[in-house]
Structures are given as structure tokens and as C-alpha cells.
Amino acid sequence: MRTETPVTLYLKDYAPPAWRIESADLHVAIHDDHAEVRARLDCVRNTAGGDDALVLNGEALELVGLSLDGAPLDPARYVYGDDLLRIAGPLPDRCVLESVVRIRPDLNTQLSGLYRSQDGYFTQCEPEGFRRITFFPDRPDVMTKFSCTVEADRARFPHLLSNGNPVAAGVCDDDAARHWARWDDPYAKPCYLFALVAARLDVLEDEYVTASGRKVRLAVYVEPGKLDQCGHAMAALKKAMRWDEERFGLEYDLDQYMIVAVGDFNMGAMENKGLNIFNTKYVLARPDTATDADYQGIDRVVAHEYFHNWTGNRVTCRDWFQLSLKEGLTVFRDQEFGADTHSRAVTRIQEVRALRVGQFPEDVGPMAHPIRPASYAEINNFYTATVYNKGAEVIRMMHTLLGREAFRRGTDLYFARHDGQAVTCEDFVAAMQDASGIDLAQFRRWYARAGTPRLNASSSYDATTRRYTLTLTQTLAPTAYEKRLTESGQAIVDGTLHIPVALGLVLPNGNDAPLKLAGEAEASGTTRVLSLTEPTQTFVFEDIPAAPVASLLRDFSAPVQLEFEQTDAELAHLMAHDDDAFNRWEAGQRLATRVLLAGIAAQQRAALMRHTLPHAGEDDSWRGAGSDWIPDAFVAACGRVLDAGLAGDPALAAEALNLPAEAVLAEAVVSLGQPIDPEAIHAARVALRRHLAARLRDAFEAAWAALTPTAAYAPDGAQVGQRALRNACLGYLAESDVEYLQSAVVPRLTAQLAAGGNMTDGNMTSQMAALATLANLDLPEREATLADFYTRWQNEALVVDKWFAVQATSRLPGTAARVRALMQHPAFDLKNPNRVYALIRGFCGANPRHFHAFDGSGYALAADVISELQAINPQVASRIARSFDRWRQFDAGRQAHARVALERIAEIEDLAKDVAEVVGNALKG
Ligand code: B3K
Ligand code: ZN
């Protein structure tokens, strides 16, 4: 039987719940092959005249017993089918429902609900996992006070944890080998924030005193033996708690804050009230096992989950369409935390890079949606870059329009109004508007409109009147989202957006001009935020002494694609003089993109001349197009960036020397209306790197030597920046000719790897830089080094993940076959999400040239994995399936292969709903 199209849910159909659950008392007893869950729910009728029946969600539950107000329920009064338990009326307005169910956590490979990982039991309930634990109205607008008793074997599961505060514990009366612990959470919460853990763990404890003087016990629980890897997470937690008090006036509210790390987890971490459950990737770190990026990831994710305690838990979402209410806002908060604790400019650059690689493509693909989608089939498919990262950009635009102080008044008002409630995105915007007096009516359209707006700019300068005139035009083309809505008869929101455009005018002498708009009495400031609220608007600036170079969208003030003709010389001027660090970087990226687009065209011409189709087996295709298309001025600009980095901010220089990613270049090609040619993109980018390596070799060598570390490893901003630039130099040097590689580069790479454990240069950041570089080189040292690395690290799961990932992302021919071989490696496990993300998402998502191989081998590999994985873990399978998003933007040959792969998945019997929605949309196009 072919899978049916999954049922679509619509925001417009929202209705309040017919019943509330005032309190819930759970008893979860974990046994060898099952768990028994007893639940006592205090049910209260919510809407007069609503459905008289009491309808609860329940998935994969074995019903053992049901009673109502103390009496066993007559089986004729209820039915359990299609994942719903329906208890027929008449029912009193208040009643107590008691249920007993059995579940099978050991067989739960979806990792949603209660599941087993290694030797412990863990939960994941957001968004709809609680219904896999017990019967409940599993929707976020039902807020309930929970208490929970966890019971399990004493020796095997010494730690029994749940939300809130511990209130009692003991040994079971009837079985001295078992024990129990009772937890009580005083705050009402939606059931998606419920959690429990039963496991043997080591714990790092600490204490935090809140601004108002309350003591909080902090605890990080990890697999035994890993205590030496918890310190950074604990430090990050304390920093985040202090920061939220200072920046947002928000304090923690329970006596305990616990973080539990688990090796099998579908995403990064989960903000369960008082009991966060984390992927080990975002907890464990030691200098020799974690990279600088890992350390920063831990900072950000620990902070993010902590910040959810207010933005998500105390004030939660009315329904899952409002997901961005908590996610966009919390990402914005963790971004600001990152900016305040590291470098603001570098943080912003990295965020925008991630937006361009992850979110912009979503807007042009088959799953396009606004930050608040009007419909979905499987909500798990909407934990996306759009909801999270574009959601954060929308919050940031309000911050830009209101300014920091008014924004803070807005969040204060939001919490004052809505603490303890489940609300909508409208409520957030209303608080911002009411607190600031700024009209956000038009701004609200950002919540409903999909797609990346284009911002076209044109300008002129009149030397006689000293006027500078800037005309801005916005356009937003329909996406696949509007098509889906139309097909299902839904209304489309359109209309002009309110776009904040931060602008500066850089004069020929490098200084910013003071900005005075026509009609203003005097100039104020050198960066102004223009509100673009019409399709086209013209802004005239007066008293501009000389023709300026416009610096538009400073700090990336809006998530748009800018179309603005600027000459190479103008971009170089911005690279050198723009006051806005983000736009200095951006000018460099725009220049590089321009060069690379010329290179892509040159590669395509060269491929035609060779009368061969470029293909994955031909790794030296970059040689074909020469280097005529690379202007000397670009090389010189890179040289200056390197010098400036050594003298000033190495982290910024490392970002600037990082050429636009292949995915970003693909986007640029699509904007020109051309099909993506992954071979030409890859070849052009490699050719440019090799050219820079040849021309700037001495400078890279000198910088590499000058940045030799002298101090013991610390993941602080200064060291991180130095390592980033040093490794960038090494990466360029590794693009040298074979002779130089063999004599001067490879020995350094192997030495760097051999230094493992050495506290200055043997850190994992240096090791991975060396290993990833070697993995791209077809040299004899490659295999031996990879094998050694595995042998050395085979017992550190997170390092083994890195080992899989560097091979999956290798440039070398034959990578698809290598990935297939690695799937047979004893350390590979389709049931472990981190392994799948490392090897399979590494290949499908971060190796575009091989995934989109012209012979379809990459697509076939993905289809094979998705087919098998969808039956094991639909959420993870669905994420991998998103790799096909761009398939229609390629040439006819590749499209044909992709279609075959997608149809093969679509034909699977009982295909998981998650994958069915993604693949169905991809095929609909
Ligand atoms: N709220 C969780 C995400 C849950 C994802 C479920 N598929 C983590 C976070 O955003 O903080
Ligand atoms: Zn979140």
C-alpha cells in the first residue's frame, strides 16, 4: 500500500481546549522490558458548550486500566484508537481520571517519549512525545501542575530525576532492590516540558546565588567517567544566569537547575523545566577532545536552554504554529549573549553566514514557510532555520527599530502581561508596540510572509547641491509556500514589509558623513536606521561633502538579499574603511562572490572546451580555466586583510579570508537564473584558494609562524581568534603544489596531529584542522593518519563523530563509496543520531559537489539511508530528506536522478509522516 498524504493542520482552525488538566500526578515504574505509567489527572471543563467528551492523546500505549472519580470505567464509555482516547459524556465539570498504561522504552528508536540510551532512561516530549508516555491533552495551551514519582532498580539506576524540586525518596516497601524519588514542580507547564531520567550518572555540583539572594543548586549529570568534561558547561550556565539578570532582569525560579547529558538525542538539547536534557555534544568538552567551535556551541546551547525558562516555559506557545514565539526570541537572546561575551562582530558574521547557508535556501525550496506557518502536517518538520534563525532576525529587527531600552520595556511588559500563559506571536508584538509607542502593524507581516525579500538600491550624488539620493525598492516573489496554500484553498498574506535599513555613507577620506535627511534641521549620527515601508522610497541626504560609498544594511539590519551595483573599487573602500565591522566583512564577501561568479563561468567554458562533462572523478578540473579571471586587486585585498588581522583582530581576518561557501555561491548562481553547476562552483572556489596560496605563500607562512601558540589552551576570544587565523593560513598553504605540500605542509600536519595531548598545540582545534586538511589530500599519509586517529580516539564518541565527518566532507573522488563503506564500520550506528548527522548529513548537507554528483550516486546513497532510517527514527530521516530541497535548481540530468531517488522514498509502504511531508512537497515542487 502506498502511503497516503499526511493530514494537514491549519492555524485558522485553532480552538481552545475543551478540558484543562489542573494537576497531574504520575508514577513511572521502570522494569526490565517495559515501564508502567500511572497517571492521576484533575480534569476541569474549559469551554461551556464544548465537546462533552474528554479526548486525550495517546500513542503506542498499552491500556491496562482506566477509572473515573475512583470507579473503574465501563469499557462501553471509551474507545482508544487512531492515537486518541475518547471518553464519552455526560461528565461532571470536574473529574479525576486515573489511567494505567504500559510502554516499551527499550524499543523506542524514535527517541521521542521515554526511551533507553545506553544504561539509562531519558525523555524527550517536545513537541508531541508526552502522548507516548501517558494519556493526556498533548497541546501546549494546557498548562498543568505536575508531580512525578520515578521508581526503578536501585543499583542500576541510582539517579531518579524529574522536574521541579525533590520532595521525598525511599526504598520500595515490596522490593528492597528498587527505590523511588518523588518530584514536585510548583509551576504549571505544558506537558512538552515534562522530563524524567533514571540512570547511573556522575554529577558535577555547584551553587548560584540569584540577584535577589536565593541559592540555587546547579548540577551537570554525565555518563560515569566524564566529570572532567563538564566544567565548561557549568561555567556557561553560571554566565548565562548572570547575563539574563543583567540584560533582561530575569531570575531563575526553582531551587535546582539540572542538566543531564545523553549520547542518543535527536537534536541539541531540551529546555524541560528545571531538568534540561542535552545531547552530549553540547555538554562535554576538554581541550584535547573539543574544538573551539564545540566550546562556543556549548556556551550558546546551555544559554539558549536556560533562557527558555522565561521565553518558552514561564510564557509558552498557545499552539505549535507559534513556535517562533519562543524559538526566534530565545535564539535572539542566545545571540546577544554570544555577542556580549565574545566578539560582537564575529558573532554577527557567523550568524549571517549560517542564515545564508541554512535559511535562504529554505525560502527557495519546496518546504518554504514563514516564521509562523499557517499549516503543517508534521510539526517536527518545522523546527527549521526559518522558525529559529529567521525568527531571531525578526526579533532583532524589532530591537533595531525600537532601540535597546524600548525593547527592554517591551520584554518587561510581555512578562508582566503573560507570565504563566500560553500566548501567540501577536501578543509579543503587541507588548513591543505598547511599550514603545512605535506602530508595528505593518511589521507583523514578517510573521506571515515566506521568502527572502530582495532589496534593490540605486543612488546618485550631486556635487553642486551636495545631495546624496538613495532609492530603495523591495520585492518578494511567491514561494512554494504560497503555492501550497493556494492549492489547499487558503488565503495568502501579501503586502509590503516594514524593513529597517541601517545606513552609513563612507566618504573618500574613509570617514563617515554625518547624516541629515532633507528637511531635518541638523545632522544626527553617522548610522541611521531608515524605515522602508513602501514598495519604493527615496531618501535624500544633504550636506554630503563628496561622493560617498554607501554602506547599506549595517550589521545586517534585515534578512534580505541586497541588489546594489557597487564597483570593485567601492567595495575595496568599504573593506578598508567601513566603521561597521560586519559590512567590512560583507564587502569582502561581495567582492569574492563577484570574482567567483566569473570563475564559475570560466570553469564552465573550459569544461565545454574539453568536450567532456565535468564529473566527480576528475579532481583537477580546477586547472582547466586558468586564473585570468582573478584580479590582482583581489589578491592584494586579501593580503591586506591578513596584515590587518595580525596587527588587530585575527578572528575577523579569519572570517574575511573564508571565501563564500559553495552553498552560498549556489544561491548566487540561482539568483542569476542559472542552474547550479556544483562541479564548476567547487572548481572555481578551489582554484581561487590555490591562486591565493601561490601568490600569498610567504605571507601565509609568516602569519602561521607568528601565530604559534605559547600559552596553554583556553577557549577565550583572543586565543580562539589566533587559532582561527593560524588554521586558515595552514588551510591555504595546503592548497600548494604537490612538491611544497610534501616538503613543507604535510610534515606540519602530521606533527600537529602527533602533538595530541600537548597543551599548547595538541588541542582538538589544531588536530581537526590538520585532519580535515589531510582528508582532502590524495597522499599516502592520509590513510595511515586517519587510522591512527581512530585508534587513539575510539572511546570518545564525540571525537569518533568528527572522524566520520571529515571523511564524509572530503573533496576526494570516491567519497560516496567511502561513506557507504563507513556505514559498515563497527562504530557506525543508524540508531545514533550524532553518528548519522556526522556521516550522512556531513555528506548530504556539507559536501554539495559529491552529494549532487552528476551520476546520481549521492542521491541514491541518501535514498537508501532515508528508506532504512525512516522506520527507525522518522525525525532524523526527515532531516536527511531535506538535503533534496534544491533538486529542481540543478540541470536536467541531475533532476532526473533526484526524482528517481525521491519517488523511490515516496513509494515506501507506511512511510513515516515526517518524511512523507518533506518528500511529498519536494515532488510537488
Ligand atoms: N525546544 C527544543 C527543540 C525540540 C525539537 C523537537 N523536534 C530545543 C530548543 O530549541 O531549545
Ligand atoms: Zn529553543
**Alpha helix locations (H) across 365-479?**
385, 391-402, 404-418, 425-436
Q: What is the pLDDT of residues 276-300, one digit of tens each?
A: 999 999 999 999 999 999 999 999 9
- The answer as to whether 221 is a domain residue is no
- Nearest ligand atom owner, CA of 326: 2
Q: Give Cα separations from 820 to 61, 378, 516, 758, 861 (angstroms).
A: 37, 30, 62, 34, 8
356: its cell numbers? 545564508
CATH code at position 898: 1.25.50.10
Kindly provide the b/e burial profile for residues 416-425, where b requires at least 16 CB atoms within 10 angstroms of the residue's own CB.
Answer: eebeeebbbb
Element (H, E) at 851: helix 848-851
Q: Give Cα separations from 641 to 476, 589, 644, 653, 726 (angstroms).
A: 35, 12, 5, 6, 13
Question: Can you give the pLDDT at residue 637?
Answer: 96
Question: Can you give the pLDDT at residue 610?
Answer: 75
Question: Can you give the pLDDT at residue 48?
Answer: 64
Q: What is the pLDDT of residues 158-177, one digit of tens each?
A: 999 999 999 999 999 999 99
Contacts 24+ apart (CB under 8 A), 507-510: 507/544, 507/545, 507/546, 507/548, 508/546, 508/547, 508/548, 508/573, 509/546, 510/573, 510/576, 510/577
Instruction: Report the distance separating Cα 87 and Cα 102, nearest Å.
Output: 19
Q: Which atom of ligand 1 is nearest to the CA of 267?
A: 5
**8 A C-beta contact, residue 915 and residue 874:** yes
Q: What is the largest CA-CA distance in the chain?
A: 96
Catalytic-residue membership of 245: no
Atom 6 in ligand 1: residue holding the nearest Cα = 126
Instruction: Report the distance separating Cα 527 and Cα 500, nearest Å.
Output: 12
DSSP secondary-structure letter at 915?
H
Q: What is the pLDDT of residues 566-621, one digit of tens each?
A: 999 999 999 999 999 999 999 999 999 999 999 999 999 998 887 555 444 445 55
Is residue 311 scored above 50 in pLDDT? yes
Q: What is the mean pLDDT of residues 641-647?
A: 96
Query: 408 CA distance to ligand 2 centroid (A)?
Result: 20
- Nearest ligand atom owner, CA of 383: 1
Instruction: Report the distance separating Cα 245 and Cα 272, nearest Å.
Output: 20
Q: Which atom of ligand 1 is nearest to the CA of 312?
A: 1
Report the candidate in 592, 599, 596 with the shortest Cα–Cα distance to residue 634. Answer: 592
Dihedral (CA of 414, 416, 420, 421) sign: negative
Atom 3 in ligand 1: residue holding the nearest Cα = 270
Q: Which atom of ligand 1 is nearest to the CA of 379?
A: 7
Question: Can you give the pLDDT at residue 616?
Answer: 42
**Using N-to-C axis directions, what is the helix angle for 391-402 and 425-436, rounded to 10°?**
10
Q: What is the mean pLDDT of residues 356-384?
A: 97
Show which of 200, 223, 242 is a domain's final residue.
200
Question: Can you give the pLDDT at residue 41?
Answer: 98
Q: What is the pLDDT of residues 689-707, one digit of tens each?
A: 999 999 999 999 999 999 9
Q: What percentage of the chain has pLDDT greater than the value 70?
A: 97
- The answer as to whether 383 is a domain residue is no
- Nearest ligand atom owner, CA of 268: 1
- The answer as to whether 431 is a domain residue is no
Total count of domains within the chain? 2
Query: 327 CA distance to ligand 2 centroid (A)?
Result: 5
- Nearest ligand atom owner, CA of 270: 1
pTM, two decimal places: 0.97
- The answer as to whether 506 is a domain residue is no
Q: Which atom of ligand 1 is nearest to the CA of 269?
A: 8
Q: What is the pLDDT of residues 97-124, one digit of tens each?
A: 999 999 999 999 999 999 999 989 999 9
Q: What is the mean pLDDT of residues 449-456?
A: 98
Atom 8 in ligand 1: residue holding the nearest Cα = 270
541: its cell numbers? 541626504
Contacts 24+ apart (CB under 8 A), 47-54: 47/16, 47/17, 47/18, 50/18, 51/18, 52/88, 52/89, 52/90, 52/91, 53/18, 53/86, 53/87, 53/88, 53/89, 53/91, 54/18, 54/19, 54/86, 54/87, 54/89, 54/91, 54/95, 54/97
Question: Can you give the pLDDT at residue 622?
Answer: 56
- The answer as to whether 847 is a domain residue is yes
Q: What is the mean pLDDT of residues 439-457?
A: 98
CATH code at position 3: 2.60.40.1730
Q: What is the pLDDT of residues 176-230, one digit of tens each?
A: 999 999 999 999 999 999 999 999 999 999 999 999 999 999 999 999 999 999 9
Using CB distances shorter than 6 Å, the residues near ligand 1 are: 126-127, 267, 269-271, 304-305, 308, 327, 380, 383, 875
Query: 269 CA distance to ligand 2 centroid (A)?
Result: 8
Atom 7 in ligand 1: residue holding the nearest Cα = 380
374: its cell numbers? 499557517
Average pLDDT, the chain: 96
Query: 498 CA distance to ligand 2 centroid (A)?
Result: 26
Query: 586 CA distance to ligand 1 centroid (A)?
Result: 31
Atom 2 in ligand 1: residue holding the nearest Cα = 270
Identified catalytic residue from 59, 151, 305, 327: 305
DSSP of 71-135: EEPPGGGEEEETTEEEE-S---SEEEEEEEEEE-GGG-TT--EEEEETTEEEEE-TTTTGGGTS-
Report the candidate in 356, 593, 582, 590 with the shortest Cα–Cα distance to residue 457. Answer: 590
Report the candidate in 94, 95, 112 with the shortest Cα–Cα distance to residue 103. Answer: 112
Ligand 1: residue of 138, 192, 271 to mutate (most ligand atoms within 8 A of CB) is 271
- The answer as to whether 530 is a domain residue is no
449: its cell numbers? 510572509
Atom 4 in ligand 1: residue holding the nearest Cα = 126
Element (H, E) at 145: strand 145-153
Ligand 1: residue of 279, 383, 878, 882 to mutate (most ligand atoms within 8 A of CB) is 383
Report the candidate in 829, 798, 840 with the shortest Cα–Cα distance to residue 280. Answer: 798
C-alpha dihedral over 583, 585, 591, 597, to 10 degrees? Answer: -110
- The answer as to whether 909 is a domain residue is yes
Q: What is the pLDDT of residues 468-505, one digit of tens each?
A: 999 999 999 999 999 999 999 998 988 999 999 999 99
646: its cell numbers? 595580525
Q: What is the pLDDT of residues 191-202, one digit of tens each?
A: 999 999 999 999
Q: What is the pLDDT of residues 893-917, one digit of tens each?
A: 999 999 999 999 999 999 999 999 9
- The answer as to whether 889 is a domain residue is yes
Question: Can you give the pLDDT at residue 609?
Answer: 81
Q: How many CA atoms lie within 13 A of 49 on its CB side?
A: 1
Query: 529 CA distance to ligand 1 centroid (A)?
Result: 33
**8 A C-beta contact, residue 280 and residue 261:** yes
Question: Can you give the pLDDT at residue 590?
Answer: 98
Instruction: Report the distance separating Cα 536 and Cα 532, nearest Å.
Output: 8
Show which of 139, 169, 200 is a domain's final residue.
200
**Alpha helix locations (H) across 648-712?**
650-657, 662-671, 678-695, 697-706
Domain that holds residue 872: 794-925
Question: Can you give the pLDDT at residue 494?
Answer: 87
Show which of 200, 230, 257 is a domain's final residue.
200
Question: Can you give the pLDDT at residue 904?
Answer: 98
Q: Please tell me whether residue 215 adopts helix, strand or coil conformation.
A: strand
Query: 353 CA distance to ligand 1 centroid (A)?
Result: 22
